Structure 1
Amino acid sequence: MADIVVLRRGTHGLPMDEYAAELRERLPDREIALARTPAEERELVADAPVVTGVGIDEELLDAAESLELFACAYAGYGHLPMDALREHGVAVTNAAGIHAPSIAEQVLGYLLTFARDLHEGWRRQRNREYRHYQARELGGSTVTVVGLGAIGHAVVDRLQGFDVETIGVRYTPEKGGPTDEVVGFDPEAVHDALARTDYLVLATPLTDTTRGLVDEAAFATLPPESVLVNVARGGVVDTDALVHAVRKQSIRGAALDVTDPEPLPEDHPLWNFENVLLTPHNAGHTPEHWPRLADILAANVPKLDSGEELRNRVD
């Protein structure tokens, strides 16, 4: 009988055998089994107390008669059959926080690219143009970070030393945060922050409150020299309003790791703007993905035995 079953489906192009190896290193006294086929998954989960992977469907869940914990390899868990997991009495944890360092580094790269106009340098290089252009400095600017979870904190941490003012937007502003100022999602407070923003970084979950948060009215409030950075979810931004803002030069540019829709159709106008940087939702990609995820699960296994509160538990 396996103590922990690793399901076969990987993520970010990272093989699951590496995840299994990280778990074996941290839990040498536990039997770790990697299921490489659908048949092996059904066989191994039958009596395993812990299963981990990208997802688990209801058919496989029904076969997991002894399952106590499903450790999701994603931070998001909306794709999981949560009602069925509850009915089976299975605890669920996620990967929240493991992507914060890599995403924060990518955000910093975006900010420095626009501060120093590196994208213009790359454009001139492609055209073999040796002509000087005006650049800026990140120092002295105001960076507004929407969402002060693990990613938002990591972004603000990496801005230390750049001599910037920071504004944080979160659901519970009374909790404070790492930014110089913290406000809530009250529309008046948000627009007051936007009016003072040079770089707007979105690092918030997609909820009823944040869906379409950056809309036509928000772009009207943002200064024309501002830059939008979205590493949250595409739906936080009204895409049509963004296209209009870029066309009308209502903002200086945008860096988008996520879009709505995703992926963008080949004929979408966002592909064609020289001041819009697009990356394929890979800000969270890091070779530390499995080690960090294995740290969470390895810490939770003894807690599962003792009945302590599980790290990263979502249900």
Structure 2
Amino acid sequence: MSESDTAELLVLRRGAHGMPIESYADALRTRLPEWDVTLARTPTAERDLIEDARFVTGMMLDEELLEHARSLEVFGCAYAGTGHLPLTELDERDVTVTNASGVHGPNIGEHVLGAILRFARRFHVGARRQERREWRHYKTHELQDSTVTIVGLGAIGRAVCERLEAFGVETVGVRYSPEKGGPTDEVIGFDDEEFEDALARTEYLVLACPLTETTRGVIDREALVTIDPNAVLVNVARGPVVETDALLTALRSGWIRGAALDVTDPEPLPEAHPLWTFSNVQITPHNAGHTPKYYDRLADIVAENASRFRADPNAELENQIDS
């Protein structure tokens, strides 16, 4: 299919996690052998092909490119979060938007579990002693009977909860609509009193929520003073969910035992930032989302939606977000 033809399913050129976008296009072709799946590999190709495309998928779709989209009906976002998209303009054009919720559940769930076990068994202390060839015992902790609070019970939060089931922990889930329940032993909302009570008895606080007006800065100075001093903070959400200055104070003052940060504010974390200097802070460069199965899981969602769309342009789609 030439780039001048109409793209039945258009894939935009930006890849994710350093993996070539060609792999995503190939995964879609495997699942949709009857479709013409076209990859726009240059900015010019994107502008030309999106003019008549009805179904488009990709990581990004900015306002400038959207201006060229005359026939767009569905945009399959390749990220779980959609806050970077021009959602107002898409809604005004009656474009259905879906996200990649569920793609990251297994790998980020494993990342969180690894971070928790690292602090429970203090593998970082053992690693330092290995580097020094020092055979000397050190104290550790036990995960069993701990309380783990998970803020956000989407696909990632649920995956974390599932992986904790074998460890004999008590789990508390925090979500906007606690009446909906969840897989945790207890589900609460962001109500001040309930949330404060959960923090006071939490030994591992996992942040797996989207960044919203409610969650921005939800872990502030007051939260860090309230939390159990033996608690560990694990952030796989977004950096601004935690107030960085308050976290620095908490670490310096011993208000918490440590932190595992896959996201930071600012991000990328500057080379001279003090967060790099703490021995009880694990920093990974927004890497929890990486998995070799990313494009395969994403293609499963988008291919299913493309099939539904072809059968009925008004059909409800998987992971369709509210306008």
* TM-score interval for Structure 1 and Structure 2 normalised by the shorter chain: over 0.9
2:148 pairs with 1:143: yes
Q: How far did residue 46 of structure 1 move?
A: 2.4
2:35 corresponds to 1:30: yes
Paired position in structure 1 for 2:317: 310
CA offsets per residue over residues 5-27 of structure 1, 9 Å max, x none?
A: 11111111011111011101111
The residue identity in structure 1 corresponding to 2:46 is E
* Misfit runs of 4+, over 4 Å: none
* 3-state SS of paired residue (1:92): strand
Structure 1 counterpart of 2:294, from 266, 289, 292? 289
1:126 matched to 2:131? The reply is yes
Q: CA deviation at 1:244?
A: 0.8
Between the aligned partners of 1:132 and 1:54, the Cα distance in structure 2 is 48
Rounded to whole Å, the distance in 2 between the matches of 1:169 and 1:144 is 7
Give, in whole Å, the separation in 2 of the partners of 1:111 and 1:23: 36
- 1:191 offset after TM fit, Å? 0.9
1:191 lines up with 2:230 in the alignment: no
The CA distance in 2 between the partners of 1:82 and 1:136, in whole Å, is 46
Kindly indicate whether residue 207 of structure 2 is the aligned counterpart of residue 207 of structure 1: no
Indicate yes or no: 2:253 matched with 1:248.
yes
- C-alpha deviation, 1:53, in angstroms: 0.9
> What secondary structure is seen at the aligned counterpart in 2 of 1:143?
strand
In 1: Cα distance, 2:280 partner to 2:39 partner:
45
Matched residue, 1:165: 170
TM-score (norm 2): 0.94
Query: What do the CA deviations read for 1:233-274 (whole angstroms, capped 9, x no partner)?
Result: 111111111111111111110100011111222221110000
Counterpart of 2:104?
99
> How far does the alpha carbon of each residue in 1:198-249 deviate from its partner, in whole angstroms, 9 at most, with x for none?
1111111111111111111111111111111111111111111111111111
Equivalent pairs, count: 315
Report deviation, 1:302. Answer: 2.5
When structure 1 is superposed on structure 2, of 295-304 and 151-160 the one drifting more is 295-304
- Partner letter of residue 137 of structure 1? E
User: Deviation string for 1:60-111 (max 9, x for gaps)?
Assistant: 2232222211111111222212222223332111112211111110000000
Shift of 1:278: 0.4
The one of 5, 13, 18 equivalent to 2:23 is: 18
Paired AA for residue 90 in structure 1: V
**Following TM superposition, by how much is the alpha carbon of 1:313 offset from its aligned partner in structure 2, in angstroms?**
1.4
Aligned sequence identity (%): 62
RMSD of aligned Cα (Å): 1.3
Distance in 1 (alpha carbons) for counterparts of 2:186 and 2:53:
48
Report deviation, 1:130.
2.1
Instruction: Tell me, yes or no, if the aligned pair for 2:7 and 2:37 is still in contact at 8 Å.
Output: yes
Unpaired stretches in structure 2, ≥5 consecutive residues: 1-5
Q: Once the 2 structures are TM-superposed, how far is the Cα of residue 197 of structure 1 from its aligned partner? A: 0.7
Alignment partner, residue 183 of structure 2: 178
